[in-house]
Structure formats: C-alpha cells, structure tokens
Structure 1
Amino acid sequence: MSAAAEDEREEQYAFPMPPAGGWTADDLDRIPGLPPHTELIDGGLFFMSPQTDFHMATLRLLEFALVSAAPEDLYVVREMTTKLAKRDRPEPDLMVVPRKARTSREQTWYDPSDIILAVEIISDDSVERDREIKPRKYAGARIPHFWRVEKSNGLPVVYVYELDPATHTYAITGIHHDRLKLAVPFPLDIDLTEI
C-alpha cells in the first residue's frame, strides 16, 4: 500500500481523542462521527460489529413477544442506551420501561431506575461484556430483571435473572431452551424455536 493510500485510510478511520479523564456518559451524544450503537463501558467506547442473522432473528422474536405481552403501561425499547454511571452508558438489545419514561422524540437514553427488564443477546465480540460486565453493572443500578440470550445448536437459550434485593446481585431463576414461559415481570410464553 502506498504512503498516500495509508494516510487516506488512517484519516477515514480517525476517531476523536478522549478528553483528559476519559469519556463520560453525557459525551456519547456529543462525540461527532461515532458509528451507530456505540456503547460506553468504564469510560471506553465499544463499537458494535455487524450483527448475524441469529442475533437479528432472536431480537425480532423477543421484541415482538414482549410488545404483545406487555401491559399497556409498559413500553418495549430497542437498541437505546441507559446511563448507569458517569462513565457507563451501555445499550441493551431490549429494555422494558414504563410508558411515562418516554420524555421526548429526541430522547437517546433511559434512566436505570425506569428499566424493568434489560435483555442482552450475546454476539461473538461481546461475550465478556454481556456475560460479566454488563450484568454486574445492571444489578448495581438495581434493574430488577435481566435476560442473557445465547445461541445453542442454532436456537436461542435464555438465561433469566432476578435481582436479589438483599445483595443487589442477580440470581438465576431459569435457563430456558425451546420455550420461555414466565410470570414476571409480566406473564409471557415464547416459542424460542420460531426464529
């Protein structure tokens, strides 16, 4: 590759330099040129890789089922962020919030105190963040329900967690293959083989 082509390539992929002290959750709305679905975890920016068909089909199945089953006072949010702390602004694949948490059409994030359920569908590039880091941060923010979704034999497996109010950590309440039938946070029954 020629030096000119190398310089052009570097310019094409140049990202803003972080300020002293690193990025904050509020910076995410102001940083120019960020790719869609950028997350901030511990002050670091994470960019989403192109998603697989499994991820998209699972997201669509869960979103449709949640929208269909949620009581009228709840709203299902897709791919928006939450400000957990000064240096943490992750983007769950799905969230369930009260309808009153929608403040404007320009809204870009939800307060964790409004989130009833956060859902993360594991991608190859997000395994550590979605299995370890985000659940710990969601529990610390007191989000009462969390689902981690993984692929097994081409189908989704849903790991369901509920916040223990005494320890403020998640306890697993079930691992669901083929069918997800729950009473909380509201009754729902999902055929996971329909992806």
Structure 2
Amino acid sequence: MTAEPTTAHSSRWPVPPQDGYTVDDLFTLPDLPPHTELIDGSLVFVSPQRRFHQKTIDLLVNGLRSTAPADVKVEREMTVVLDRRNGPEPDVSVVRASAVTDLEQTHFKAADVLLAVEVVSPDSEARDREAKPHKYASAGIPNFWLVEMTGTDQHPVVRVYELDPVTKAYALTGIHHDRLKTGVPFPVDIDVSAEALKEL
C-alpha cells in the first residue's frame, strides 16, 4: 500500500509594492480582513480582541453620544486618512458632522477628526502607545485618549491628551479612573468604573 501524496497548502499573502502600500490600496485591495490598518505603508491585520476592548468601546461611544453637540458625530472603528501611507483605524473617533456623507462611507480625513481614541490591546501596545499618537499629533488631530485595563477589578483608565500647537505633540491633561470628566472636544462626563463596564 502506498501513501497518498500530500498536497502542500500555501497562503497567498499580498506582496507589497517596493515603496509600500498607499491608502488607495487599502480601499481597493480585495479580500483584506476587517479592520486592516495602513501604518507607514504596511498593512496591519488586527487580532481577535478581548471582551474588555469591545465593551470599553461601547462604554465610550455611548457616553460620548449622550452629550455630543449636533455639529459632531461619534464613530467607531473607521479609517482615518492621515497621509498617503497612513490610514489607521481609531477605536473611537469624534468627527465634524459635515464630514459624514452617507452609510457607504469608509473613511474620514484627519482634518475632520476632533478626537481619536485607542483602547490598548496586547497585540497593539506599541502602536497604540507610541506610533499612532505621534501620527495623530503630526496630522493635527487636536485630542487623543489612550485607554488601558488596570487594577484587580480590570476597569478602564483613560489618559487624556491635548495637542500643543507649539510643539505639535500631545500633552497629558488628565488620568481618569472611575469618571471621565473633561471639557474637550466638548463637555464629557462618562462613568468608566468597573461597575459601568460590567453593566454593558
């Protein structure tokens, strides 16, 4: 008896162009996984997320929408075009209402974003803490929040940053553990306690 020949399985990974991908590629390449980002001309695929990540996004989106003025919209997981080689996808964005076109829309321009929020995941710590804030600041996005899990009760801690127009870098303006209260990009008061997260 002879063994059946085995068929080698091969993945067809996209071969990047010599100068890297552009945002045009990000929106036109077929069969990219959901939530693919473009960072410095490289495609970044997102790993499955923890429940903390999704529930924290829900908590922030609900809280922001409850007090958002009519001239802004709160969006989740939408690409923001920073330049031709960078199209990250903040977990939450506050954008000018005038930039929202229709339900077919796939992205926003950096100039229309008032706040970008990243909820840190184990697979994206360096991008969320270092690469993305730097890129958001360079693109002129005036506000940035970094959210991480902390404490034995695993509640969110929110670090709030504002863009310094002189240095073109973010300056930390507050660290919020149980209640997120700030005046920018509009008056915000969100319960971010462990109890609030568990209620979702």
TM bin, normalised by shorter chain, reads over 0.9
Q: Which amino acid aligns with 1:138?
A: Y
Q: Is the 8 A contact 1:15 1:33 kept in 2?
A: no
Q: Unpaired segments of 5 or more residues in structure 1?
A: none
Counterpart residue number, 2:160? 160
Q: Is the 8 A contact 1:81 1:109 kept in 2?
A: yes
Please report how far the alpha carbon of residue 85 of structure 1 lies from its aligned counterpart in structure 2 after TM superposition.
1.2
| Cα distance change, pair 3–174 in 1 and its aligned pair in 2 (3 A) | farther
Q: Distance in 2 between matches of 1:72 and 1:86?
A: 30
Please report how far the alpha carbon of residue 4 of structure 1 lies from its aligned counterpart in structure 2 after TM superposition.
3.6
In the TM superposition, 1:80-159 aligns within 5 A as 80-153=78-151, 154-159=154-159
Please report how far the alpha carbon of residue 3 of structure 1 lies from its aligned counterpart in structure 2 after TM superposition.
7.4
**Which one has a bigger Cα radius of gyration?**
2
Please report how far the alpha carbon of residue 19 of structure 1 lies from its aligned counterpart in structure 2 after TM superposition.
2.1
Partner deviation per Cα, 1:91-143 (whole Å, 9 max, x = no partner): 00010011110123322110000000000000000000000000000000000
Q: Which amino acid aligns with 1:143?
A: I
Please report how far the alpha carbon of residue 184 of structure 1 lies from its aligned counterpart in structure 2 after TM superposition.
1.3
Please report how far the alpha carbon of residue 155 of structure 1 lies from its aligned counterpart in structure 2 after TM superposition.
0.5
Q: Across the two proteins, how many residue pairs are aligned to each other?
A: 190
Counterpart residue number, 1:60? 58
SS of 1:175 mapped into structure 2:
strand
In the TM superposition, 1:179-190 aligns within 5 A as 179-190=179-190
Which deviates more, 82-91 or 17-26? 17-26
SS of 1:116 mapped into structure 2:
strand
Counterpart residue number, 2:40? 42
Q: Unpaired segments of 5 or more residues in structure 2?
A: none
Q: Which amino acid aligns with 1:52?
A: R
Counterpart residue number, 1:176? 176
| Cα distance change, pair 85–3 in 1 and its aligned pair in 2 (3 A) | farther
Please report how far the alpha carbon of residue 65 of structure 1 lies from its aligned counterpart in structure 2 after TM superposition.
0.4
TM-score (norm 1): 0.94
Partner deviation per Cα, 1:19-63 (whole Å, 9 max, x = no partner): 232101111011111100000101111111111111011000000
TM-score (norm 2): 0.91
Q: Distance in 1 between matches of 2:13 and 2:91?
A: 24
Report percent identity of matched pairs: 55
